[in-house]
Each structure stands twice: as structure tokens, then as C-alpha cells.
Structure 1
């Protein structure tokens, strides 16, 4: 009887932890998407200093908020977000707008893909 109660308790704790990790990942991906849109607006208005500041803030945000994401999802996807964010800040600093926009789209696609992979549906289960 003790083992059954312990197993059920551990299952409930695991379920709660996964629920909060999933919510954290979804909110992080949504925030990355919003920040990328803000950077793109700054690039389109040729406000280079603001875009660079926002890209560095995005890099710090991904590094700071990624402790749960790097445990919960494939670390290759998470590392790709960090690398693209770093490239983005370098491209903006060097005023290479085409590569900066390309990195922005990769960041947006990567965050959207990470969020879509975590949705519970038949495609992801099989």
C-alpha cells in the first residue's frame, strides 16, 4: 500500500512539473517571437542602435530563461536559438541587414517550431 501511494504521489509531482515546464516553454517562445518582431520593426526603420540593444537583450533573455527549456526540449534546438541570436547581434552591429533579417526569421521559426513540437497531438505522439 505504501508503494502505491508513493508511486501515485511521484506521478502527480511529475505531472505538475511537466505542466509548469510546458507553460514556461510556451511563454518563452512567445516572448522570443514578440522580441523578434520588435527588432524587425527597428531594422525596417533603420534604427540600428535600438535594434542592436534589442538583439543583445534577446540574447540575454534566451540565456536566462533557457534553463527549463534546455532540460525540457532537445538541446540542439535551444542551442540553435542561442547561436542565431548571437549572429543576429553581430549582423546588426556590422549593418548587414539581409543576414540580420534572415537570422530573425530563423529565430522566429525555431521558437515556433519548439512550441509546436510540445503540443500534445497524434502527430507528436507517433
Structure 2
């Protein structure tokens, strides 16, 4: 039984305290808040219920102990949200951590699953169909 696709791995990096505190979904949500200027518009752009986006944000803020957005309630100008300096610093740290983790994982993946290693696995006990 021969596979035609190339072996690869997937990584989803999440940070936890007691609950999930940060991960790829929160990164996208915060990027969309920054782009749209609104948590409601950010949620809509992600096809996410506003209540879910609000809950994600509140849980993350509770876990980190600081606000991720500055919110202005609606009025004649409609209100909106902007990212706090802490949110921007957190996003930068997460991106750096993820980038370095991927470099390390790429090296480990090559060490354990290189073409040569896969060939050794195939021939270790004789080939099977």
C-alpha cells in the first residue's frame, strides 16, 4: 500500500492558565477587531456569533488579567473597539513563540520522519502489502 502524498504535520498552538487563554482563533479575532474597529464586525467577518466572540474575549481577559480591547459603547457615532497595548504585545509574543516553535518542530520532524527514516521503517520488518 503506497501513499502518494508527502508526510507532514499540523500544529495548533494554544496557551492555557486554568482555561484556554490564547490561540489561533483569538489571534484572528483580535486582528479582525483591529481591522474593522468593532468586536461585532470582527465576529461577523469570521461568521461567528457575537456572543461567542464576547465570551472568548472575556475569558482571555480574565485569564491574562488585563484588557485586550478598549471599548466605546455605541452612541450617535456607533462606538467601537481598539486593541490595547497589552493585546498587541501578547500577539507579538505569541507570533514569535509560534515561529520559533515551528522551526524547532521542523527540525524534529526531519530527525524522526525524514525520507531515509521512513524508508528504514518500511524495510525494518520486511515490506508488507
| Shared fold, TM over 0.5 | no
The TM-score normalised by the length of structure 2 is 0.37
| TM-score, scaled relative to structure 1 | 0.37
Which of 1 and 2 has greater Rg?
2
Tell me: higher relative CO, structure 1 or 2? Use CA pairs within 8 A at least 6 residues apart. Answer: 1
Q: Which has the higher strand share?
A: 2
Larger helix fraction of residues: 1
